Structure 1
């Protein structure tokens, strides 16, 4: 946390913008993760309305524990003008930090998420996305296979269109980076 801005939440919002750039001009995205306020059921219902699939929260009695986001941080989809089912959807998990073991890359499982929480699974299984703030071992097939479509810091920068970021997000990124650099310089 720098400049009273949570870097983990900042990565979720940045990832939602970057993935729209990658998926194309007709794509839409949303942050689902802990950066978004609201209860889990309400977030599931909102997700289903926005993507036009899933039909809402699948009530399974009382939710045990607190799923918060059940590892789903970012959702992207590409609608057709008809808004019907059968569209490209991606479910993404964001990770900050410096280590990404295999466990971290297998936490989000889109099919299991849909089966657990949605009344109806999307017509096409959402593809798995993995966003991380560090360099990721893209050349390691087994790690990439576990992670899905990887957006590490290099790929995030490759897809980032700074002019399309909202002023608010741009200012938060700038403030967080400025404070993080000052923290590093003061630690030396």
Structure 2
């Protein structure tokens, strides 16, 4: 897909929408030429909006009635997010897509809070590395790294827990070893049922339930989705109290130079998804 004309966007709507989305632009339309032209105009208005918001991280160029893929577009983080939205995280029968999305989300959150020089992060989501197989081990490790929380409280049965809604955490330490620091707990939702999860993670409740001594300053919540949340839904979804919303546009805009291993795995997943 090097370039798509305005007329071509009607017959290849999923291409003009970068692998598709859950927005009505992908639905087949029957009608007169003026109706088709209206749909094409709407599609290119959406693409232009994405280009403006994402900026240099947007891997396509929109020029009037033409959409052009930049060099390396298919290997870009934006294209991974678009492919993940369209094909779903389980298209290959593994959890690879979800795991990569959690890592990208953590990288975006770190950048948002100030960058890796001053921000620390922790990937909590299931499945975990071999060294952190159990839920309780992950709680202990998170608390140790944050310098708050006191470790696993042992109050509740954890044998059937995976991540209890927590996929990642990031915090901004002062470096003085004392309590009270800004922290954010995040949940990622890559599937079609994402909206049902938007208020699932409640950081204060999570800390009271699982930590021996919850952080002095309760963490904020963040919610990450690989799709674009458009109007009017954004006005509704963005108003949940103490929750920061990250959709595809925000995540892609925030991502700078990725870890080489992460970038290669995302590019490989995208290539396999789009064939």
- TM superposition score category, shorter chain reference: 0.7 to 0.9
Structure 1 CA distance, aligned partners of 2:106 and 2:114? 13
Please report the TM-score for the alignment, with normalisation by the length of structure 1.
0.87
Q: Is the 8 A contact 2:222 2:244 kept in 1?
A: yes
Q: Does 1:10 align with 2:100?
A: yes
2:119 aligns to what?
A: 27
2:235 to 136, 141, 161: 141
Q: Does 1:94 align with 2:184?
A: no
1:126 aligns to what?
A: 219
Q: Is the 8 A contact 1:98 1:134 kept in 2?
A: no
| CA deviations over 1:60-98 (Å, ceiling 9, x no partner) | 26x166111001001000001213211010000001024
SS of residue matched to 2:120: strand
1:186 aligns to what?
A: none
2:165 aligns to what?
A: 71
2:138 aligns to what?
A: 43
Indicate the structure (1 or 2) with the bigger Cα radius of gyration. 2
2:210 aligns to what?
A: 117
Q: Is the 8 A contact 1:3 1:175 kept in 2?
A: no
Q: Does 123-132 or 141-150 show the bigger shift?
A: 141-150
Number of residue pairs aligned between Structure 1 and Structure 2: 178
Q: Does 1:106 align with 2:199?
A: yes
Please report the TM-score for the alignment, with normalisation by the length of structure 2.
0.61
1:170 aligns to what?
A: 263
How far 1:6 moved relative to its partner?
1.3
SS of residue matched to 2:213: coil
Structure 2 CA distance, aligned partners of 1:172 and 1:124? 36
- Report the RMSD for the aligned CA atoms in angstroms: 2.0
Classify 1:123/1:133 alpha carbon distance in 2 versus 1 (closer, same or farther; 3 Å).
Answer: same
| CA deviations over 1:24-55 (Å, ceiling 9, x no partner) | 13011110000323100000000000111100
Q: Is the 8 A contact 2:108 2:254 kept in 1?
A: yes
Classify 1:18/1:35 alpha carbon distance in 2 versus 1 (closer, same or farther; 3 Å).
Answer: farther
1:151 to 222, 230, 246: 246
Higher relative contact order (CA 8 A, sep 6+): 1
